[in-house]
Amino acid sequence: MASRRLLTSLLRSTHRPPSGPPFRNSRSFLHCPSPKGYIFNRIVNYVTSATTPSQPEPVQPAKLLIDEFIGAGVIGKVSQVIGTVVDVRFEKGLPPILTTLEVLDHSIRLVLEVAHHMEKNMVRTIPMDGIEGLVRGQIILNTRSPTILRKSCLKGGVFTYSDGFAAVRQDTTVWTQAPLTSIHPAAESLFHISVDVSDSPELANSFTTAGQYLQLRVPTDDDVSKPSFLAIASPPSLASVQGVFEFLVKSFAGSTAELLCGLNKGDVVELSQAVGKGFDIDQISPPEDYQSVLIFATGSGISPIRSLIESGFSADKRSDVRLYYGARNLERMAYQVLISALLVRDRFKDWESLGVKIVPVLSQPDDNWKGERGYVQAAFSRGKKIYSPQSTGAVLCGQKQMAEFLVSSGKPETAPILLSTIRVVF
């Protein structure tokens, strides 16, 4: 370094400005086009660069840099965290199944594996580590590296993935076998299913809050079906007192739900423990402070809403509690009448006796229908009732479009919103 500085001083001393008056457009000896001046200029620029601290380049926003150098469809955001899975939304394009994603700006290095493509540029992922502290809106990077699955050495269970780092994940889900006690149609394509968990008190006691869900799989001749996420429709008290879980299941072709809806009384299924935080009713408590509660549900999204209503949230102590329940037609609307061997009961009347006003909304009703038509968000908007944000709560469960409209509409603008974590096929 000292020798370079000495050379710099020597070269600068050999250059003297002209003694005459300066000229506005005159150029120094080192800038003349002669070979000698060119060489001296290059030497001076080189040796002086080491002694002059370089100015740090301005830091660009991460998204701009990534969009410029990697391309669109690489940055996503956490849309929702559902127990042991994470949904991620991308603005453009979706990463392939088994692609490795990485959570940026997180307390630990958290890697996600793409497991399923969903609607609206959304993917469902499996985390490779604990997801404590992961929140909605966190930035996700698509590494574009595939996850390499290897043969499992435990049923359900151990696999490795490769994204430049070695890691191992084990499926630690505890599965409990339980028999079906009843199964019957609840509406078109919907089935009411009861499962006896009285012999598994730990499983029964894991359900503590309306809005929780669990995984269910059906044993088959070869193995077991892929687990299906189901909201628990019954209140927690039914599990703790009678040892029963009840579900409202929509059957669709090729799914575990279709296998489940084809079973008979006495057939055995396998259940995980109940997970999820459920509905945080403390957000709309005490009832005297939140006199209005608006509940919105579509299709089988009524399942956790039933659990909420029958669990009780002091609806009878509030001035206005109403449920907007949307379905295509009356044939697809569950819980109008509960049918069993000993009982025929209109569950809607039971809910209204608890203080919940029911507003059925049909998108494709027949000509005899006199009630609300269209979609629940439109029916709510037509009411044109003004609610106080300070004393109003809302509970949403069902189609994502419905939830997004109601949240963005600002009605009520700053009211507490209790979003269900269950994605409903409707």
- Of residues 297, 302, 396, 404, the one with CA closest to residue 79: 404
- Res. 420: pLDDT tops 60: no
State yes or no: cis peptide before 235, omega within 30 of 0. no
Question: What CATH code is carried by the domain that includes residue 68?
Answer: 2.40.10.170
Spatial contact of 393 and 290, defined as CB atoms under 8 Å apart: yes
Q: What is the side-by-side order of every strand in the sheet holding 372-373? A: 372-373, 357-362, 320-327, 292-298, 392-397, 417-419
Helix locations, 14-120, DSSP H: 35-49, 62-69
Write down the residue that tokens 């579509």 correspond to: 298
In a domain, 36, yes or no: yes
Give me the pLDDT at residue 172, please. Answer: 64
In a domain, 415, yes or no: yes
In a domain, 424, yes or no: no
Helix locations, 300-425, DSSP H: 302-311, 347-353, 376-383, 400-409
DSSP 275: B
- Res. 216: pLDDT tops 90: yes
In a domain, 122, yes or no: yes
Question: What CATH code is carried by the domain that includes residue 359?
Answer: 3.40.50.80
Residue that terminates a domain, selected from 170, 189, 221: 170
Q: Given CA atoms 175, 178, 184, 186 in this order, what sign does their dihedral have? A: negative
Tens of pLDDT, residues 284-343: 899 999 999 999 998 888 999 999 999 999 999 999 999 999 999 999 999 876 544 444
Return the bridge partners of 230, or none.
214
Average pLDDT over residues 97-126: 84
Q: Report which of residues 253 and 203 the model is more confident about.
A: 203
Question: What CATH code is carried by the domain that includes residue 212?
Answer: 2.40.30.10
- Mark whether 286 and 261 lie in a shared domain: no
Spatial contact of 317 and 248, defined as CB atoms under 8 Å apart: no
- Mark whether 264 and 355 lie in a shared domain: no
- Mark whether 50 and 77 lie in a shared domain: no
- Mark whether 391 and 289 lie in a shared domain: yes
CA distance 169 to 131: 13
Give me the pLDDT at residue 170, please. Answer: 45
- Mark whether 90 and 215 lie in a shared domain: no
- Mark whether 331 and 266 lie in a shared domain: no
- Res. 277: pLDDT tops 60: yes
Q: What does pTM read for this prediction? A: 0.60
pLDDT over 70, % of the chain: 68
Q: Report which of residues 6 and 73 the model is more confident about.
A: 73
Q: Report which of residues 34 and 104 the model is more confident about.
A: 104
- Res. 214: pLDDT tops 80: yes
In a domain, 21, yes or no: no
**CA neighbours within 13 Å on the CB side: how many for 68?**
6
- Mark whether 51 and 66 lie in a shared domain: no
- Mark whether 405 and 305 lie in a shared domain: yes
CA distance 282 to 287: 10
Residue that terminates a domain, selected from 170, 192, 220: 170
In a domain, 20, yes or no: no
- Mark whether 414 and 299 lie in a shared domain: yes
Q: State which residues form the domain around 361.
A: 281-419
Q: Binning pLDDT at 50, 70 and 90, where does residue 417 land?
A: low
Helix (H) or strand (E) holding 325: strand 320-327
In this structure, the number of other CB atoms found within 10 A of the CB of residue 148 comes to 12
Total domains in the chain come to 4
Give me the pLDDT at residue 316, please. Answer: 95
- Mark whether 150 and 213 lie in a shared domain: no
Pairing of strands 85-90, 122-127: antiparallel
Spatial contact of 294 and 322, defined as CB atoms under 8 Å apart: yes
- Mark whether 339 and 390 lie in a shared domain: yes
In a domain, 23, yes or no: no
Give me the pLDDT at residue 406, please. Answer: 62
In a domain, 210, yes or no: yes
Give me the pLDDT at residue 63, please. Answer: 27
Tens of pLDDT, residues 156-183: 333 333 333 333 344 567 899 999 999 9
Average pLDDT over residues 205-233: 90
- Mark whether 186 and 218 lie in a shared domain: yes
Residue that terminates a domain, selected from 109, 140, 170: 170
Average pLDDT over residues 209-233: 89
